[in-house]
Amino acid sequence: MLYVTLICSDPECAEEIESYDDLPDLEHLVCDCGCTLQVVSIDEARPAELRVVAPLPQRRDLRRAA
């Protein structure tokens, strides 16, 4: 999967788009205003595996420092 940042080539529009999809052809993407989108960055992305961690038990026997 690709993480792609695109920006409109029209300076007055300056639309910025982020995409997390597999894009087959980045050269032919067009902004809503009709201008072409230029690739700013391309990175490889993959879903992260999240682990559930149990909270630590509260300790009530701690004494205050002097």
**pLDDT-derived band at 47, boundaries 50, 70, 90:** confident
Assigned token pair, 54: 């149990």
Per residue in 19-43, pLDDT (tens digit) is 777 665 666 678 888 888 888 888 8
Q: Is residue 25 part of a domain?
A: yes
- Write down the pLDDT at residue 4: 85
What is the average pLDDT across 1-28? 79
Q: Is residue 34 part of a domain?
A: yes
If one compares 45 and 25, the residue with the highest pLDDT of the two is 45
What domain range includes position 33? Answer: 2-44
Question: Would the pTM count as exceeding 0.85?
Answer: no
When divided into structural domains, the chain yields a total of 1
1-6: Cβ within 8 A, 24+ apart = 1/44, 1/45, 1/46, 1/47, 2/42, 2/43, 2/44, 2/45, 3/42, 3/43, 3/44, 3/45, 4/39, 4/41, 4/42, 4/43, 5/39, 5/40, 5/41, 5/42, 6/37, 6/38, 6/39, 6/40
Q: Is residue 15 part of a domain?
A: yes
